[in-house]
Amino acid sequence: MPKCTQYNRQCAPPVKLNLFGRLNQYLLNYVSDVFEWPQSKKAQFINAISALICISQISVIYILLQFDLPKQHALHPIIHQYGIEYLFFSFCLYASMFMCGQFLRHTHPKIQAIYSFLSLLAYGVGAVIITYLLGPLSIATGVTLTMSPLVGLILFSNRLIAIVAICVFPIGTTCFILVAIGKIPYTILIESTQSMHQNISLLALMYGTGLPFLLLTLFIAYACIERWKQRELIVQTLSTTDSLTSLANRGVFLDEIESYLSRPRMHRKALSVLMMDLDDFKQINDRFGHLVGDDVLKNIAQTLQFITREEDLVARYGGEEFCILLPNTNRETAEAIAKRILTAVTETTTRKDNRTINVTTSIGLTTADAQQLNSGKVTVDMLLGAIDAGMYTSKTLGKNTLYFNPLPI
Amino acid sequence: MDNTRKPTHFYILDFANGFLSLSDIQKAKLLLYGVSLNALYLAALIFGIHFLPPELSQTLNKNTASNIIFMAIFYGFFAFIAGVTGELLEFSSKVIQDVYIYTAILMFCTGSLFVAHMLGDLTIITGVATSGAPIAGMVLFETRKLLHSFFFATLIYIIIVLLTFLGFARYAPLINDVTNYTSNPVWIGLVFLSAIPNIVVIMSIGIASILSWKKREQETIYLSQKDVLTGANNRRHLMDLLTQSIHNALLNKTPLCLMMVDIDHFKNINDTYGHLIGDKVIKHLSDLIASNLHGVAYFGRYGGEEFCLVTPYTQEEKALEQAEHLLHVINHTPFIFQPDNGSQEIQIHLTVSIGISSLRLDETYLHATDTLLFESDQAMYDIKRGGRNGAKMYAV
């Protein structure tokens, strides 16, 4: 994916991804399909996840039963008796709901909505039961409590999630209050809660089933947020950059001057602004055609990007006019930079059918020093007027030159 | 979208948009202030337990408690100082800003790890920090920065869990292991109360930003699917929906009807009253159709003054009934407007011609849309030829 750091930094060329990056890209592409699915298909997906969690729990309990664990490491006998039956029953429930979804794919929208609601409700109630079994204040509660609403909101409509939350939340709260006032034990999964952290069975059950769920849901959220961020970046890039040269556009340039002028006193030292206009550019367009003219502009833009510093802002102001904002730069440094630009532009060549095209430029420059900035009289229009007039003076002085035009205060 | 209707979560969305549009360093600053507040809150919470009756307060390991209060106050103070530093770094170079953001995230991580360790690593606090916090973090900061910090935090967490499992470190050092602490109200209350602020903040950030993103996406979709003048579906979206409905109908062998509604002598209205009034008449008709839709029926603007109404799951007789009802409504609701020159109100009595066609279930999927549209058009022209203001089913 293209990664643009700031407005005026050009889009980086596609980098070669390492194994992790390629895997990430592949998974992102795969998961982003999920967001395009219809709601009932997503509900089916949730059923599949619930069923898979049941299977993983069954297998963990089954493996634990194979070991003859000492009493303090074992689960409660009730779990040994009924645990697998309960989990198998809920697996069958989720699996049959998954299968039902397959047949309901093309039915009446209301039926589909009811199906989605029932699937989410089944998921929610299952989650409450599991979190109670692992302990109402255990990691599992934290994960399901925060993860389910967020991922739910990402995948489903707001109203559906609100209704399911209203149905499930009271059940969980009641369960928690009963534990807090001592009516029901903290957990019936294990016999003694005294050394929970050293109980192999509990830890295996907790991590063995919780971790895959956590990773899966985190990845869904990551994929969706990444997608949104990328889309926002594209919109932002389109609205702030010039499409031909990928430089910042005129609006961004004006905004940046404005924001520099409104900085607090200690963060603004001196501001230099520079405007350059390519000399006799119309002739290039007339002689070689507009396509070549565009190429010249692109090359010049690249040169400007290359020779300015990280914090400078290069913008395309008009047709063949470029503006550069040099923050915290005094007159001497700005003039040095401008001279460097003059030579760099003359050295930039564009090739067209064995012919080379070189252009020159005229620069108008101005600097507002700390004293002028602090007086509060400096405005955007004043700066623009100064550099514009400076540029025209350097044109009349014979082009390919630089003119410093002090501010009129 | 209707501008006058404010959604109920309007204020949350406003808050989220304001929060998301802050610069990274401002968000990091707020995060540090939050960490500082949370640390002080915890110190106060643990200090408050000393005032409980002795049979309850003896759950607390007094030595550890005083140490933790001291450390929490120190940590909170440090986070506050770091937060204040953020005010000065607003315009500094990118490297310093990155370092600052990393510091903020890491202070949050280590703080939650510390709290979680004091009250037990297997508690809800860890759960929130491993699930909700990454999502809220991804919303706020660059994903890369977050990944680095969480990798670091996970490593520390694994080490702590291993140490407690093997018995090298105490599990929940704040709590005396003398009693069975999971049935102790002090432990339950402490864990619950220390998790609550985290949950509230994380969930409100996460939910609010997801909602505002979703809203923006909906607005984009709305703009691309709706007709500008009437707010009904535009032709492209209508065709998408129709194709989908026909697919469903052919698959499940359910009936489907399509009505083509065209205003009679619309050109006269435009010529007499001007195009502005003509546009308003179209909007008027669109509103009338919209308020008389049955069940899952939907409609869209098919052409200039033509609307196309699709009624899935509807038999031919039922569709004809609905069309006649619509005709009745349109005939009895004239369009009323006040001319600019101040003379009295003008009523325009509208009449429409409705052509109906129904989907033949032996139709092949490829030609069904075209056939339906063609047949309803034919039926509509029959009405036009036969004197207008009527509804008719296409007859083979």
The two tokens of residue A187 are: 């957990």
Q: What is the tens place of the pLDDT at every residue in B155-198?
A: 999 999 899 888 888 888 888 765 567 777 888 888 889 999 88
> Chain B: nearest CA to A349, how far in angstroms?
33
Cα–Cα distance measured from residue B358 to residue A156, given in angstroms and rounded to the nearest whole number: 34
Higher pLDDT, B5 or A274: A274
> Is the per-residue pLDDT at B309 higher than 60?
yes
So what's the ipTM on this one? 0.76
Cα–Cα distance measured from residue B262 to residue B90, given in angstroms and rounded to the nearest whole number: 62
Position B177 scores a pLDDT of 65
Sign, CA torsion B387/B388/B389/B394: positive
Q: What is the tens place of the pLDDT at every residue in B16-60?
A: 677 778 888 999 999 999 999 999 999 999 998 888 888 878 778
Higher pLDDT, A40 or B7: A40
The two tokens of residue B290 are: 């919209």
A272, A329 contact by CB (below 8 A): yes
Cross-strand pairs, A248: A241, A315
Position A20 scores a pLDDT of 81
Interface test with chain A among B118, B135, B161, B193, by most A beta carbons within 10 Å = B135
Position A14 scores a pLDDT of 58
Position A238 scores a pLDDT of 84
Does B305 participate in catalysis according to the annotation?
yes
Q: CA angle, A60 as apex, A55 and A65 as ends, to 5°?
A: 125
Distances (CA, A) of B141 to A221, B84, B128, B136, B206: 14, 19, 18, 9, 12
Which phi and psi (to 5°) does residue B269 adopt?
Answer: -60, -45
Q: Say if strands A349-352 and A355-358 run parallel, antiparallel, or are unpaired.
A: antiparallel
Q: What is the tens place of the pLDDT at every residue in B81-121?
A: 999 998 888 878 888 999 999 999 999 999 988 888 888 88
A200: nearest CA partner in chain B: B165
Residue B203's contacts (CB-CB under 8 Å, 6 or more residues apart) are: A146, A149, A150, B132
Would you tell me how many other CB atoms lie within 10 Å of the CB of residue A235?
12
Burial B137-151 (b: 16+ CB within 10 A, else e): bbbbbeeebbeebbe
Q: Indicate the pLDDT class of residue A9, thresholds 50, 70 and 90.
A: very low
Q: Is B39 on the interface with A (CB under 8 A)?
A: no
Overall average pLDDT of the B362-387 stretch: 87
Q: CA angle, A307 as apex, A301 and A308 as ends, to 5°?
A: 90
- What residue type is assigned to position B216 of the chain? R
> Chain A: nearest CA to B128, how far in angstroms?
5
Q: Indicate the pLDDT class of residue B322, thresholds 50, 70 and 90.
A: very high
DSSP notation for A59-100: HHHHHHHHS---GGGSPPHHIIIIIHHHHHHHHHHHHHHHHH
Residues of B in contact with A149 (CB under 8 A): 203, 207
Q: Say if strands A402-404 and B256-263 run parallel, antiparallel, or are unpaired.
A: unpaired
Cα–Cα distance measured from residue B187 to residue A148, given in angstroms and rounded to the nearest whole number: 26
Position A333 scores a pLDDT of 93
Q: Indicate the pLDDT class of residue A206, thresholds 50, 70 and 90.
A: confident
Q: Is A183 on the interface with B (CB under 8 A)?
A: no
Q: Say if strands B390-393 and B352-358 run parallel, antiparallel, or are unpaired.
A: parallel
Residue A344's contacts (CB-CB under 8 Å, 6 or more residues apart) are: A303, A304, A306, A307
Would you tell me how many other CB atoms lie within 10 Å of the CB of residue B270?
17
With the CA atoms of B233, B234, B239 and B242 taken in that order, what torsion angle do they form, in degrees rounded to the nearest 10? 10
Q: What is the tens place of the pLDDT at every residue in B208-251?
A: 888 888 888 888 888 888 888 888 999 989 999 999 899 888 88
The two tokens of residue B27 are: 């968000």
For chain B, what percent of residues have pLDDT higher than 90? 33
Q: What is the tens place of the pLDDT at every residue in A241-253?
A: 888 888 999 999 9
Longest dimension (CA), chain B: 98
Please provide the average confidence, as pLDDT, over all residues in chain A.
Answer: 86
Nearest to A204 by CA among A70, A63, A318, A308: A63
